[in-house]
Amino acid sequence: MAIGSLSEILSVSTDPAVGEIGGSHNQKGVEYQRNWAVVQMLVLEEGGASDFLFLFESIQDIAILDSAENPTNIKLFQLKKKDRGEWSWAGLTRLHEPADPAKRKKKISTPKPLNDVATSPIGKLHAAIHAFSVLTSSGRFISNAGCDLSMADGSNAATSLSVALDALPDHFRILLNDALTTMHKQGESPPDLSKITLEKSDIPVEDTSIYTVGRAHDFFVKRSPKHAGQARSFVDSLLAKIGPLGGKTDKCSNFEEIKSQHGYSRRDFAIALSALESIVDVDFFLDAWLIQLQQEGMGFLEIARIRAAVASIYRRQVLGERLPQEESVISACDSWLLDQPDPPMLLPFFRAALAHLTAKFPLVKSEELQAHFALRAINKCVDLN
């Protein structure tokens, strides 16, 4: 009887020779992996993916299925964070460097046992890809560092965006093929090197989340500009959700348990996006207030400076930065607002607040003070806090 796709996923994930086991003992690089996953979710959403399911530490570091209910395709990822240098042939495969028949080498690399490949990053990735027959499978080795491998066409994987291992020169390709074959049972199909890809990621080793927040900001600018300022809180929320999914060590008995313990789906992602829609649009009220202030006599230039100051505040929120006195200004705005009645006119309200804040913060520009005051006053009015 043919095994179904869900049963195959369960079978592979519970195979100790192929599946991953989460937990504290293999958490190095977790931040890098999780941020990469969030960026990929944004990429898939921008690309119009109708469905997806990310599995963390279930089959390789991350597996992406094309459906959370009826998958037909699985992409497997090993994500390795490297602090220095590039990945070498030996580091990727545990194999010796084969002699190039077109060149004469003075020193020949000492041959290594072909079955050493099984413990290498490429060997482990191949084992997971080869374990699937119902699902169409492929795998990628992804790192912030490039792979120092010359390809048959003269390019180098260290600078290539993405390159499959079937593009290796013949002497490397034949050696790797022979080595991976030692991992197969008799009668099994031969290795397919076109299914294994090397890719250098743009995500930096340092300040990983800042990169992700910037990527989310770009996503919202296109998708929902009014929520661009919430990019950091959105990313932080996603990271908090998917973080524990890689640390589950309980053995799963069915696909639903795999999803529950290790999975994050497009439906989960859509719920996270929809949660932003429930947040009141501060910019809507800010525009209305600035129009009212203009009607009450505030000058065009002053209003333009306040808008620019608000944009700077949003930009700093995205980057997770604060000016030296910013927290104190925010606190002073909140304290002053506590004792203020509902004003019949906005301009006198703003002037009184500005006089109070300028006395406390004489070195802070008036437009910066008014921008913070406007945002805090709107928060109080719509009860956002």
State the Cα–Cα distance between residues 125 and 197, nearest whole angstrom.
10
Longest dimension (CA), the chain: 90
Q: Would you say 80 and 143 are in contact if contact means Cβ atoms under 8 Å apart?
A: yes
Give the three-class secondary structure for 63.
strand
What's the rounded Cα separation, in Å, for the pair 81 and 62?
Answer: 14
pLDDT at 106: 55
d(CA 349, CA 107): 82
The token duo for 58 is 């279930």
The pLDDT assigned to 328 comes to 95
Q: Give the rounded percent of residues in the chain with a pLDDT score beyond 70.
A: 91
Mean pLDDT of 11-34: 72
* Residue range 107-123: mean pLDDT, rounded: 86
Quote the pTM value. 0.75
157 close to 146: Cβ distance less than 8 angstroms: yes
Residue 24 pLDDT > 60, yes or no?
no
Picking from 157, 149, 139, 123, the residue whose alpha carbon sits closest to that of residue 196 is 139
Report residue 26's pLDDT band, with 50, 70 and 90 as the boundaries: very low
Two tokens at 229? 């300022």
Contact predicate 230/220, CB 8 Å: yes
Average pLDDT over residues 288-306: 95
Phi, psi of 301 (to 5 degrees): -65, -40
CA distance 137 to 74: 5
User: Which pLDDT does position 320 carry in this prediction?
Assistant: 63
